Amino acid sequence: MLIETETTPNPSTLKFLPGRSVMDAGTRDFADPEEAEASPLAEALFSLGDVEGVFFGRDFISVTIGAGADWRDAKPQVLGVLLDHFAGGAPLFRNLPNNGIDVSADKELPSDPEDADIVDQIKDLIDTRVRPAVARDGGDIVYRGFQKGTVFLAMHGACSGCPSSTATLKQGIEQLLKHYVPEVTDVRAV
């Protein structure tokens, strides 16, 4: 089995492509070892010691290492864990309610019902234009709310903590949304 790797704009994060589907639907971000208990693969990656974040996308896994860690040392270990997991046919999630996927922390902020058309436009632009581009870089950006002209987005995977995430948010996503949805005045990460 060949697992390809790609760099991301975040120097602490590498994107691993196993050449097969990772998640059938949605994404999953693990920010610490406690969250990783829902997945044998995420748990094994955190057990390496230098891993500070794991993100499952549709066809990739992004792994973030901590400050002071070096990808020259960590990459072979991560590849070993991934090869063992996929070659062994292990499940991605433990048999937990919702397949271990807990999205309760990612609830949307309340929005004004009069803004429903605006919210639909924003969500469509994020889903069709922003998320596919961000996934190529090993991350995900998810709509969380729209209030008084401000769009709130959650950043996951390689996007979380990336040095260029502010530029992506302000110069990329904010400009795109303002262009197509004039009611948007600001975009913020939550």
Which residue in this structure is represented by tokens 């046919």?
89
Phi and psi, residue 140, nearest 5°:
-155, 150
Residues 162 and 9 sit within 8 Å (Cβ to Cβ): yes
pTM for this predicted structure: 0.72
**pLDDT beyond 80 at 136:** no
> What local confidence, expressed as pLDDT, does residue 162 receive?
66
b/e for 39-70, b at 16 or more Cβ within 10 A?
A: bbbbbbbbebebbbbbbbbeebbbbbbeeebe
- The answer to whether 134 and 141 are in contact (CB under 8 A) is yes
Q: Residues 101-130: what's their mean pLDDT?
A: 79
Confidence of residue 98 (pLDDT cuts 50, 70, 90): very low
Q: Which residue bears the tokens 């590849």?
A: 79
pLDDT band at 99 (very low <50, low <70, confident <90, very high): very low
The pLDDT value recorded for residue 131 is 83
DSSP H helical ranges for the chain: 33-36, 40-46, 71-88, 116-125, 131-136, 165-167, 175-180
Mean pLDDT of 72-90: 92
Q: What is the pLDDT of residues 166-189, one digit of tens each?
A: 777 777 888 889 999 999 999 988
